[in-house]
Amino acid sequence: MTPVPFAEFERQVLKLYDPALRKPNTAKQVRQVLREFGALPAVQTTADLDPTAIAHWIAAHPERSAVTIESLLRALGPLLKFAVFKGWLDRSPLEYRGPSQWVRPDDRPEPKARPGSRTLGEVGRVLELADAEARAGGWERKRLRALVYCYAYLGLRGGEAVHLWRTDVDLAARTVKVQAHREDRWTPKTLQSAAILPIARPLEPVLRYWLRQTGCRWLFPGVRRRGPWTGGAAGQSPLDQVRELGKRAGVPDLTIHSLRKTVGTYAKTWGLGQLELKGLLRHSDVETQAWYDDGPAEALRPAVSRVSYPMSQAG
């Protein structure tokens, strides 16, 4: 092993996380990890990247949740492998303990609240209103209806739906293909996120009608049909429009992500197993989707109704 100064290690690592090579959020996490470990007095060279350094780093951020610690340690993992590959470090300290083994969740602050799932009735009201407004409204209301249906029935992430092309929809096969479109400078979040998903029966007529209305190659174009609907004036972005539709339906604070979480939460109600849900939401592992299950009692009621015991009818 030939250790190098941490500053040199940082410089070399950042070359691997150039915007042309990695997604911005990934590069942002890597820069954060490098900055925080570089600030530790005990870390001067790559030889100092040992289990003790991780313990010092965790102690330096007592306000941090277990979820965030694990996420940042997962970002650190490839950097440590790079140091081992270069001969700057003998072994990764994450061989001693994996990213999820350093802290107990109940010993750390609760993670910040994130958008939760909505009830099935709430999503139903949103879809009914989207139907009514599409029938009475113009092209933009019809676009919003198709978009919300995609989020509700496919569990797509925000960027996945708005970057779909018309050719990604195969009505004959009843599938939607989530894939990279380099012309739009967009790729799915992970390699596992690229997939072919089945079209649910209620979604099929909505997409069949909408495909004739788009007027360009994108499934959900902007109003000028020059590119995907990724932004707009204040109040006109997809997120803004979904939120406002929720308000009109009596479902305040509706978000695109809460629709995805609703799919994750009520999957068991619809009879989906963990592996089936993993395939639909396209998580890298089953553990990841635990965050998507808000676990309300109503979602478990169908399962509980099947629990029975043979009992004598006598008193």
Encode pLDDT of 129-156 as tens digits: 999 999 999 999 999 999 999 999 999 9
Tell me the whole-structure pTM to 2 decimals: 0.72
Q: What is the 3-state secondary structure (H, E, C) of the chain?
A: CCCCEHHHHHHHHHHHCCCCCCCHHHHHHHHHHHHHHHCCCCCCEHHHCCHHHHHHHHHCCCCCCHHHHHHHHHHHHHHHHHHHHHCCCCCCHHHCCCHHHCCCHHHCCCCCCCCCCCCHHHHHHHHHHHHHHHHHCCHHHHHHHHHHHHHHHHCCCHHHHHCCEHHHEECCCCEEEECCEHHHCECCCCHHHCEEEECCCCHHHHHHHHHCCCCCCECCECCCCCCECCCCCCCCCHHHHHHHHHHHCCCCCCCHHHHHHHHHHHCCCCCCCHHHHHHHHCCCCHHHHHHHCCCCHHHHHHHHCCCCCCCCCCC
% of the chain surpassing 90 pLDDT: 67
Residue of 250 and 265 predicted with greater confidence: 250
Give mean pLDDT, residues 277-306. 68
**For residue 162, what pLDDT is reported?**
96
Q: How confident is the model at residue 43 (pLDDT cuts 50, 70, 90)?
A: very high
Q: Is the pLDDT of residue 110 over 90?
A: no
Q: How confident is the model at residue 57 (pLDDT cuts 50, 70, 90)?
A: very high
Encode pLDDT of 187-205 as tens digits: 888 888 999 999 999 999 9
Give mean pLDDT, residues 291-313. 63
**For residue 278, what pLDDT is reported?**
82
**For residue 38, what pLDDT is reported?**
96
Q: How confident is the model at residue 314 (pLDDT cuts 50, 70, 90)?
A: low
